[in-house]
Amino acid sequence: MADLVNDEIVLNNLVGKLRGLVPVLEQGAREVAALLQEDKLPAAFDALQQVIEALQCFHEGLAVLEARGCLAASGLERLNEQLKEIYPTLLAALEGKDTVALADVLQYELAEAFTNCVKGMVGSGRND
């Protein structure tokens, strides 16, 4: 019984940390997009590296929730699906070294997915 309680506490902490990352990732994506649009490439790619590292951590956390069957209850399931749709476009822009497409994906797809998630958390009372 104690193990179940400890697992629940760990999962609740993970969900809280992931929810806390949502607005940070949203803002990071918007900042990188703005730097790209201003043609400040060194600063943009430095900031992009940080966003990618945070996205990797975020994705790993979502994977843990998914493996435990807790993703739907976390309120992050829709965001997880959106990210899976966005990643190939993001990767293509990076591989193609297309800064215009990269800025568009970051601003209009990635940041918007996080914005919608924040709105959903506030609307559902899950922004705790």
Confidence of residue 128 (pLDDT cuts 50, 70, 90): very low
> pLDDT (tens digit, 9 = 90+) per residue, 92-109?
999 999 999 999 999 999
pTM: 0.86
The sign of the dihedral angle between the CA atoms of 92, 54, 62, 64 is positive
The sign of the dihedral angle between the CA atoms of 56, 57, 60, 62 is negative
Residue 5 has pLDDT above 60, yes or no: no
* Contacts with 78 (C-beta within 8 Å, 6 or more apart), sequence order: 116, 117, 120
With a pLDDT cut of 70, the percent of the chain lying above it is 89
CA distance 32 to 18: 20
Q: What's the confidence (pLDDT) of residue 8?
A: 83
Q: What's the confidence (pLDDT) of residue 119?
A: 80
Just give the CATH number of 2-122.
1.20.120
Higher-pLDDT residue of 80 and 3 is 80
Confidence of residue 127 (pLDDT cuts 50, 70, 90): very low
> pLDDT (tens digit, 9 = 90+) per residue, 65-87?
999 998 988 889 999 999 999 99
